[in-house]
Amino acid sequence: MPGILKKIYRLMVADDPITPMLKVSKKERTPEMLTPRELIQKESNIGQAIFGQLPPHVVRREFFNLDEKTWIWHEEVKSGDIHRREVTTRYELQPQGVLKVQPGPRYTYLEGVELDNFCQAVQAYYERVALHLYKVDPKTGEKL
């Protein structure tokens, strides 16, 4: 019986594009080999570092570009020993400006220092992601 199971398995995965990638360690996988979700996670890890070390009360922080017009800031904060609060802010790039969408619902357009900070964070994100994940010169777009 085990021989039949092996044959069935081989027939099932014969033309499977994922199987060859399983032989490559996670460290050796290039961005082209990653799923969109894995890319977002890697970009988010780089994005969270833009804002420095996590304060002791912050459990998790994410900052990433979801699509061409959407940015996500997510933070999980602990208060006391048991309670955790999660806040996700979505930034939508619109013709009128950058719309900040928070739970509640609260909608405001970024202005002044907040808009400047957002623009600086986006610039730093693009530079770091291009350089560290995609191995591309952020200024020229050429492969390194």
Dihedral (CA of 22, 26, 30, 33) sign:
positive
Sorted by sequence, the CB contacts under 8 Å of residue 106 that are 6+ apart come out as 100
Which residue would you say has higher pLDDT here, 82 or 121?
A: 121
Q: Please, what is the average pLDDT of the chain?
A: 82
Query: What average pLDDT score do residues 10-21 get?
Result: 48
pTM: 0.73
Query: What average pLDDT score do residues 101-107 get?
Result: 92
Q: How confident is the model at residue 38 (pLDDT cuts 50, 70, 90)?
A: confident
Query: What average pLDDT score do residues 89-109 get?
Result: 95
Which residue would you say has higher pLDDT here, 62 or 18?
A: 62
Domain residue ranges in the chain: 29-132
* C-alpha–C-alpha distance, residues 56 and 40, integer Å: 25
Q: How confident is the model at residue 8 (pLDDT cuts 50, 70, 90)?
A: low
Tell me the DSSP string of the chain.
-HHHHHHHHHHHHTT-SHHHHHTS-GGG--GGGS-HHHHHHHHHHHHHHTT-SPPTTEEEEEEEEEETTEEEEEEEEEETTTEEEEEEEEEEEETTEEEEEETTTEEEE--HHHHHHHHHHHHHHHHHHHHHTS-B-TTT--B-
Query: What average pLDDT score do residues 42-54 get?
Result: 89
Q: What does the pLDDT read at residue 104? A: 87
Pair 141, 63: CB distance under 8 Å: no
Which residue would you say has higher pLDDT here, 6 or 135?
A: 135
Q: What does the pLDDT read at residue 16? A: 47
Instruction: Give which of 124, 96, 126 is closest to 110, Cα–Cα.
Output: 96
Which residue would you say has higher pLDDT here, 118 or 8?
A: 118
